[in-house]
Amino acid sequence: MNCEVCDRIKNKKGIVYSTEKISVMIPENAFTPGHLIVLPNEHFPILEAVPDKIISEMFTAANKVGVAVFEALGAQGTNILIQNGTAAGQEKPHVILHVIPRKENDGLNLQWAPKQMNEEEMSTIELKIKDQVGSVGIIEEEKKEPVEEKEVEEVKEDYLTKSLERIP
Amino acid sequence: MEELTPEQQAQMRQQCIFCQIADGKVAAKKVYEDDKVLAVLDINPANPGHILLLPKEHIAIMPQMDDELIGYMGIVSKQLSQVLLRTLQAQGTTIFVANGVAAGQRAPHFMIHIIPRMEGDDAGLKPLEKKYSEEQILQIHQGVYEAIKRVLGDAIPPEKQPINLDQKETPKEEKPGTKEPGKKETPKESKKKASPLDDVSKFLTGQ
Ligand SMILES: [Zn+2]
Ligand SMILES: [Zn+2]
């Protein structure tokens, strides 16, 4: 597999912390000073392919990285950002969670212009989503046999990547 | 963190629009709910289907969350992202958190934004181009390393010590006498002790 993020993890380039499952790393292009990224050590192209256990560990680590940058840099805030899919600005085919330290007037603008939606449009979307949340909140059992795990993950990944623009 | 009295907690909940939504006292388009979290549609969406995922408990900023809850909210974010891809044919999702006014936080209740994205939409979130040299970044990060190790250190089993990259990233500094004159010294570790999180939270949310 040709993934430069996997290569960086393998070569331990820019890693400030790691466990068996995740790494905290200095990004190649920092948005602000102290910007760090949290990522799974294993190659997952999109968020939906990452097992629950690893997602949980990524968010826990991101929270602690946030505390560390408050402390070490006197940051006035942090942004957590995952760009999931090229339509969302994902540049590398490896899931990355950004922890971005913020200060007033640091020149970074991550805001969006709100869209106007009427009651009917909102209700239509509400119902569509509600109809599909049956499996939300159910945490995956940790799979014990690594061979089986691989097969299951691949099937899931294929199905999901179809709905996303292919990442080069 | 200082424990609030039940009266103070009740007052806090009354003043917080998202607690009011969680308590069913203010109407909202709820799309998912369980005993710990609530997901509602943002009334000022970046795109149609923009979801706000919140803890039911009043928690102002992310550092006040315990590991289990933030981990769980990460999992639910992923699951809701998947729902958006499936139901709205979104081509991607942006998962976004603003901690603190400087980061764009507008309400004093922690939330994760899950925004469906389409190729070429104007939902923004485009970061600035690189403004800092790699050298600058590495220098700044020297100070962050120590804090990271201190804050994350507990989580690592003894056989999996954090990788110390200081030497790998700055080989120049290993050899004495090779330092270029005028080059900035590695920033010293911040002398400030970790402030209690409730103070941080007050500061960040202006409450
Ligand atoms: Zn990879
Ligand atoms: Zn609240």
CB of A71 closer than 8 Å to CB of B147: yes
Reported as a pLDDT band with limits 50, 70 and 90, residue B19 is very high
- Phi, then psi, of A134 in degrees rounded to 5: -55, -35
Neighbours of B163 (CB within 10 A): 14
Q: Which residues contact B80 (CB under 8 A, 6 or more apart)?
A: A133, A136, B31, B32, B39, B51, B53, B114
How many domains does the structure of chain A reveal?
Answer: 1
Rounded Cα distance between B20 and B149, Å, is: 38
Cross-chain residue pair A56–B71, CB shorter than 8 Å: yes
pLDDT of res. B2:
59
Residue A42 falls within a domain, yes or no? yes
Ligand nearest to the Cα of B21, by number: 2
Average pLDDT along chain A = 85
Rounded Cα distance between A122 and B48, Å, is: 8
Mean pLDDT in residue range B33-40: 97
pLDDT of res. B184:
42
Residue A49 falls within a domain, yes or no? yes
Residue B41, strand partner residues: B51
Cross-chain residue pair B144–A24, CB shorter than 8 Å: no
Mean pLDDT in residue range A28-36: 83
Query: Quick check: helix, strand or coil at residue A9?
Result: helix
Residue A84 sits in which domain range?
Answer: 4-102
Residue A85 falls within a domain, yes or no? yes
What is the torsion angle, in degrees rounded to the nearest 10, for the CA atoms of residue B190, residue B195, residue B197 and residue B202?
-110
**Measured between CB atoms, does A16 come within 8 Å of chain B?**
yes
pLDDT at B108 over 50: yes
Burial class (CB in 10 A: 0-12, 13-18, 19+), B189: middle
Residue whose tokens read 């690893």? A54
Ligand nearest to the Cα of B110, by number: 2
Residue A151 falls within a domain, yes or no? no
| ipTM of this complex | 0.85
DSSP assignment of chain B, as one string?
-PPPPHHHHHHHHHH-HHHHHHTTSS---EEEE-SSEEEEE-SS-SSTT-EEEEESS---SGGGS-HHHHHHHHHHHHHHHHHHHHHS--SEEEEEEEESGGGT--SSS--EEEEEE-TT------PPPP-S-HHHHHHHHHHHHHHHHHHHGGGS-TTSPPP--HHHH-GGGGSTT-PPTTPPPPPPPP-SPPPPHHHHHHHHHT-
Mean pLDDT in residue range B13-27: 94
Say what the pTM is.
Answer: 0.78
**Minimum-distance CB partner of A68 among B80, B83, B151:** B151
Residue A168 falls within a domain, yes or no? no
Select, from the ranges A28-32, A53-57, B59-63, the one with the highest average predicted confidence (pLDDT): A53-57
CB of A12 closer than 8 Å to CB of B163: yes
pLDDT of res. A42:
97
**How distant is the Cα of B7 from the closest Cα of chain A, in angstroms?**
29
| A154 or A23, greater pLDDT | A23
pLDDT at A95 over 90: yes
pLDDT of res. A27:
87
Residue A136 falls within a domain, yes or no? no
| Tens-place pLDDT, residues B156-167 | 433 344 444 443
| Tens-place pLDDT, residues B173-207 | 334 444 444 444 444 333 333 334 444 444 444 44
CATH number of A58's domain = 3.30.428.10
- Distance from the first to the final alpha carbon of chain A: 13
Residue A132 falls within a domain, yes or no? no
The residue of chain A with its CA nearest to that of B89 is A163
Residue A89 falls within a domain, yes or no? yes
**Minimum-distance CB partner of B147 among A68, A107, A123:** A68
Reported as a pLDDT band with limits 50, 70 and 90, residue B127 is low
Rounded Cα distance between A14 and A24, Å, is: 9
| A12 or B100, greater pLDDT | B100
**Measured between CB atoms, does A96 come within 8 Å of chain B?**
no
Contacts of A115 in chain B (CB under 8 A): 44-48
pLDDT at A52 over 90: yes
Among A101-105, B70-74, B137-141, name the one with the lowest average pLDDT. B137-141
pLDDT at B6 over 80: yes
**Measured between CB atoms, does B49 come within 8 Å of chain A?**
yes
The Å distance, Cα B13 to ligand 2 centre, comes to 6
